[in-house]
Structure 1
Amino acid sequence: MRYLAAIALMASALTPAVAARPIAFADSAPQTGALVLPLSSAEDLAAQTGLHEAVRGVVGAALRSADFDYEAGSSLTLRGIGPWSQLVIVGTGDEALDAAALQDIGGKAAAETAQNDGPVTLVATHLARSIDNAAVQLGVGARLGGYSFDRYKYADPKDPRPAGLDAPFTIVTGDAAAAETRFRREGQPLAEAVTFTRDLISEPANVVYPESFVARTQEAFQGVGGVTIEVLDVPAMERLGMGSILSVGRGSARPPRMMIVEYKGSGAPANPIVLAGKGITFDSGGISLKPGSGMWEMKTDMSGAAAVVGTVLSLAKRQAPVHVVAIAALAENMPGGGATRPGDVVKANNGKTIEIINTDAEGRLVLADAVAYADKRYDPAAIVDVATLTGAVVRALGSEYAGLFSRHDNLADQLAAAGQTTGEELWRLPLHPSYSRDVKSDIADIKNSGEGAPGAGYGAHFIGFFVEPETPWAHIDIAGTAWNDADEPTVPAGAAAYGVRLLDRFVQDFQPVPRGKGQGGY
């Protein structure tokens, strides 16, 4: 009965209160609603033969008057021109457009027209002629840029939402039918996976906790082929010797879970890529209690687990020919009567022991069992763990990059390339052999916290300690990129779902990494 209210709240909010506009495709622009023109120069405007010459003249004069620079990210909204309620110019810059840039254009267009009470049309014929897949990427960007999480806001029945705010976002392209087919097959699954991930992260911790995280995931994967979901409860984890994750959950009334989501597409290799995610559904710090200021944001400490599950959802929904496993290491870190104390010693799944120095260094503890279990069970082609792990990485890299650590250069290079392609960029940081000495315990195999800097490196080293040195492994610290304080074209303020686009691209492009002991001092 104690979870009755939370379960009822969760059940009432299984779908977004307000979804982004549906994406459609057409061969020509309707003469109504809002019109969006992506332009790189005045010459681009002159080439818009679908616009009446008089309209082009008025728009050109307005652009000159505003000294519009056409730079990427710039925009100008005009009203009272032609039959449209709103005419928006979005600058594209003069550099070659890639997938990330196209998504930004779509996201900017969606954000600028979000309050238009009627349909929205983006004219992309000139882009589609020169860039393969342009319309699909614009559609993905529009879905992501139009995202909002407002399901708990009061909706006044006397003041209903205008129906026109949910009218389609239509992309005009040369072959609308082909673009639509490709978007439904490739773009829509990715956008839906990012939305699912953002919803999970945005939910309050009284709604999403280990058990309900599992339930949400099971619901999302219903009817998706090639997927198996396995959930380890407390007795199962005890039998497997997962003392590390169990130690984190002991202070909470909500028990931990280890969830394994496996997808194997047609023709995929036997050895999977394993994506392990930190899933602390709320982090109070445990006995090493955090200060109260900003603690509300610790509901997002499960962003890594949400991202790896979202990645598999994207790949599975479009039946990609890959073999991938997401492991969500889920726990709530609370200071209850049974909570783990600083100074305690626990044993992980692979038999290695850990001295607990700081119970607020808990993400690495749940991941220790996740990666050790993955290494033993799957003989994986690679393990990549994702976590909101340290404040140190935020101080080092801010919110522009996630931190990347790896013992294998080839794996790190592939991840960095995927980050550049998708715009979710990584910056590689070192794994120095001295870290092994700095986190050596006097009474156990390793301690979960080092003294002082480099905090991000110590956390990465700790997780890697539980992966065999020959196994290709990388750690991504997303502490600075998981939550946006300000709007960006495809990431409105709030949960970013950082890592879904990155890992989706990485898994699709993955090339086998030679096994062998790399750097890192193990």
Structure 2
Amino acid sequence: MRTKSLLLAACFSLAFAPATVAQTVAGSGIAPATVSNSAERAIGFAANAPEGAALAILTADSSLPAQANALLDASGREAVAAAVKAAGFDGSAGTTLSLRGIGTRPRILLVGTGASPTVNALAEAGGKVAQEMKSEAHPIAIVGSFDGAQAADVGFGFAIGQYRFDRYKTVGHKIPATGAVTLVSADPAAAQAAFDGRSKPLADGVRLSRDLANEPANVIYPDSFVARVREAFAGVPGVSIEVLDEAAMRKLGMGNIVGVGQGSPRGSRMMLVRYRGAGAPAAPLAFVGKGITFDSGGISIKPGANMENMKGDMSGAASVMGAALSLAKSRAPVHIVAVAALAENMPDGNSQRPGDVVRSMSGKTVEMINTDAEGRLVLADANEYVAKAYAPRAIVNIATLTGSIVGALSDQYAGLFSRDDALADRVIAAGKTSGEEVWRMPLHKNYAERMKSDIADIRNSSGDGPGASLGAHFVGFFVDESMPWAHLDIAGMNRSSKSTPLVPKGMTGFGVRLLDELARSGE
């Protein structure tokens, strides 16, 4: 039970009128602290494959690498060669061939990497093994022609490829096999060090993002998001956490973010996680994520079909926290601040209405045209706050902002918008390196005309036109033009309807790898 305050700061005169009655958040019957996902396979490195383990052999062509040949006797090698020839397996990237009944190994899985595989290709091969062998009852050994660092890349792919979210399954659920996976390397110590130093923290960051976004909205809402992230960062050195509640945001004049959440009994929050590694620059790089923990559309309510997926409208916020966790756990020599702008957008007698006017932290006024254009509103106040309080050297927004970007880019790229060519180039490069690619979209000066309001500084929707670009223009309106700024619209990328090697079906954690790479890439 909580009662919303009746007091407003003077600077908030154009914001919402708060609730005048107590509201109750109904219990869900779910106790998230007492349940977890099924255990994953432990990942380790060794010079030899354990006896009795199923073999996953990574190969660039139709021949077996020397490490694999050494694990098979002559008859086993002949049997595999015959099967490869009969199946036409050529080792091209993504191809597989599963064999049983050969020698003493319970199963042999061949996975193609393609010639001269990249870091991402090796990771995808590892993820392919995780997907193909998820029901394998035996421990698994992965062998191939890779050095220590490459073995760590394969291990990373296996780690995020085996991800699952099954903590609420109780009837007829077959718990996946959990036998250990061993990556065979000529230098297992170097492989383990590379994995522990970079790959495992990055996998932990992806896992945090996916967990937050996969959770139902009766479990993850602004306050519980904060609690879950605090738990993830407990004991991680170099980290400081700041959380603004509704009272603090009202005093600061944040009419946008608090206005979005005023129809919900669950109060809005702004969470900022700062990490500064040894030797990092004085000014941080700011990652600002949209954190709408459920988006009904508010008074401009969405159609019912597929509305359940709106629990993932906080994927941007989840991914900035995942990236921060990866960078902090790996003790990267970077300085970042990750911001989650958290609110629940619900219809209620106290919800903001189309036609309302609210004021941002800096005093800019916004006319509400569509209450379902809410993500840009929470980003507006978050951008202004992080710029004032943390003086970052650049701001990068990430958000499931528009359906328009899905129509333009489908699920192949995130949309990139920026006024700064140098920053845009860095984001594009980080996307290619990480495997989370972006495509630059236009920000034309004429978009400002389409977003003009007759009664305020800007309106939150034009009603028609290039929706993704207009939404990006709105977000950028609240960032000083002297500040390097980029905006990523990930509405087509945050959820997958089918499993791929690195992304099991469900929420993807898109952006964690990209932002991690961007922070490490320097100026």
Instruction: Please give the range of the TM-score, normalised by the shorter of the 2 chains.
Output: over 0.9
In 2, the alpha carbon distance for the partners of 1:272 and 1:351 equals 25
* Aligned equivalent of 2:166: 150
8 Å CA contact retained: 1:197, 1:497: yes
Code of the aligned partner of 2:162: G
Q: 2:483 aligns with which of 450, 453, 471?
A: 471
Q: What's the offset of the Cα at 1:42?
A: 2.4
Code of the aligned partner of 2:494: A
8 Å CA contact retained: 1:283, 1:334: yes
* Aligned equivalent of 2:142: 122
* Aligned equivalent of 1:237: 249
Q: What's the offset of the Cα at 1:7?
A: 8.0
Residue 160 of structure 2 is aligned to residue 140 of structure 1: no
In 1, the alpha carbon distance for the partners of 2:174 and 2:390 equals 52
* Aligned equivalent of 2:289: 277
CA distances 1:107-155 after superposition (whole Å, capped 9, x unpaired):
001111110111011003x122xxx610111111001010110000015
8 Å CA contact retained: 1:192, 1:314: yes
In 1, the alpha carbon distance for the partners of 2:34 and 2:324 equals 25
Q: 1:302 aligns with which of 314, 317, 323?
A: 314
8 Å CA contact retained: 2:38, 2:175: no
Q: What's the offset of the Cα at 1:43?
A: 3.5
* Aligned equivalent of 1:457: 469
8 Å CA contact retained: 2:149, 2:190: no
* Identity, % of aligned positions: 52
Q: 2:45 aligns with which of 1, 7, 25?
A: 25
In 1, the alpha carbon distance for the partners of 2:92 and 2:334 equals 38
Give SS of 1:5's match: coil
Q: What's the offset of the Cα at 1:3?
A: 4.7
Code of the aligned partner of 1:93: G
* Aligned equivalent of 2:27: 5
CA distances 1:18-69 after superposition (whole Å, capped 9, x unpaired):
1321101010112313100111112445774413232221111101111123
* Aligned equivalent of 1:87: 108
TM-score of the two chains, using structure 2 as the length reference: 0.93
- Cα 1:5/1:380, change in 2 over 3 Å: same
Code of the aligned partner of 2:146: L
The runs of 4+ residues in structure 1 deviating greater than 6 Å are none
* Aligned equivalent of 2:229: 217
In 2, the alpha carbon distance for the partners of 1:44 and 1:381 equals 50
In 1, the alpha carbon distance for the partners of 2:359 and 2:96 equals 56
Q: 1:196 aligns with which of 202, 208, 220?
A: 208
CA distances 1:426-483 after superposition (whole Å, capped 9, x unpaired):
0000101110111011111111011312000001000000000010000000000000
In 1, the alpha carbon distance for the partners of 2:40 and 2:503 equals 13
Give SS of 2:27's match: helix
Q: 2:132 aligns with which of 107, 112, 118?
A: 112
In 2, the alpha carbon distance for the partners of 1:8 and 1:76 equals 42
Equivalences, count = 500
Q: Give 5+ residue unaligned stretches, structure 2.
A: 2-23
Q: Give 5+ residue unaligned stretches, structure 1.
A: 512-522
TM-score of the two chains, using structure 1 as the length reference: 0.93
In 1, the alpha carbon distance for the partners of 2:174 and 2:441 equals 51
* Aligned equivalent of 2:13: none
* Aligned equivalent of 2:355: 343
Give SS of 2:231's match: helix
In 1, the alpha carbon distance for the partners of 2:181 and 2:66 equals 24
Q: What's the offset of the Cα at 1:187?
A: 1.1
RMSD of aligned Cα (Å):
1.5
